[in-house]
Amino acid sequence: MVCIDEDIVSVLWTAEQLLQRVAELGSEISRDFGDCPPPVIVGVATGAFVFLADLLRTIKLAVTVDFVRAESYGSGTVSNGAPKLSCPLKVDVAGKHVILVEDIVDTGNTVSLLISYLEGKGASCVSVCTLLDKPARRTQLLPHVKFYTAFQCPDSFVVGYGMDFNERYRNLPYIGVLKPEIYMAPASS
Ligand code: 5GP
Ligand code: MG
Ligand code: MG
């Protein structure tokens, strides 16, 4: 049996720490929107799907949920700087407050593109709820956007809890730093 835990250098957040912090974010969102029409939650596939599933169950509001897909990595570990939207929305966001749920905000290019897309669909306001904030390579500052952030992330390539390298490691229940020799190695099947 291939054990994927062996490819991790260090665990940054355990499953228990993730659940606890995600529940705090869910409470904060429930409080902030308690007296407003419920927001539309839009997850960014694929990386945010585990975070979104846990977050959603801690939000005590009549939210609606949809996904968009944005990709900028291919099979590498560095964003190519030009994210592409490849799966448009199904839910109507016109006149609604949208909370965009991301796994990581790194350069900020992906959330920036998606905020423009959602505003173009008529969203009245877009907030961002991100599991990890990785400020080291940020180029899009987005000072007017409200951010809900679970954790500040060091400038390392992390996987687990929905996040991948080359579509693997999403099923790790914790978030860890991937051994550099894994992504430096020639691609294998
Ligand atoms: P951006 O640079 O556009 O802010 O980030 C684009 C996307 O790159 C993030 O949403 C996330 O999916 C991915 N990303 C950034 N840093 C990491 C990382 O350390 N690990 C993984 N697995 N994905 C990352
Ligand atoms: Mg992402
Ligand atoms: Mg990825």
158 lines ligand 1 (CB under 6 A): yes
Confidence of residue 78 (pLDDT cuts 50, 70, 90): low
ipTM entry: 0.96
Residue 117 token pair: 């897309």
Candidates 54, 106, 133, 164; catalytic one: 106
Q: What is the pLDDT of residues 120-134, one digit of tens each?
A: 999 999 999 999 999
Delimit the domains of the chain by residue range: 4-184
pLDDT at position 94 over 80: yes
Domain 4-184, what fold? Rossmann fold (3.40.50)
Give the pLDDT confidence score for residue 50 in this predicted structure: 98
Indicate which ligand has the atom closest to the C-alpha of 79. Answer: 1
- The strands making up 175-178's β-sheet, listed across from edge to edge, are 8-13, 175-178, 158-159
Q: Which residues surround ligand 3, an ion (CB under 5 A)?
A: 73, 164
Helices 15-32 & 49-56 angle (0-180, nearest 10): 60
% of the chain surpassing 70 pLDDT: 93
- Which of 69-90 are b and which e, b meaning 16 or more Cβ less than 10 Å from the residue's Cβ? ebbbbeeebebeeebebeeebe
Q: Largest alpha-carbon pair distance within the chain?
A: 53
CA of 37 relative to ligand 3 center, distance in Å? 32
- Average confidence score pLDDT of the chain: 92
Residue 176 token pair: 């860890």
pLDDT at position 169 over 70: yes
Judge contact between 148 and 130, C-beta under 8 A.
yes
- When pLDDT is averaged across residues 37-45 and rounded to a whole number, the result is 97
pLDDT at position 187 over 70: no
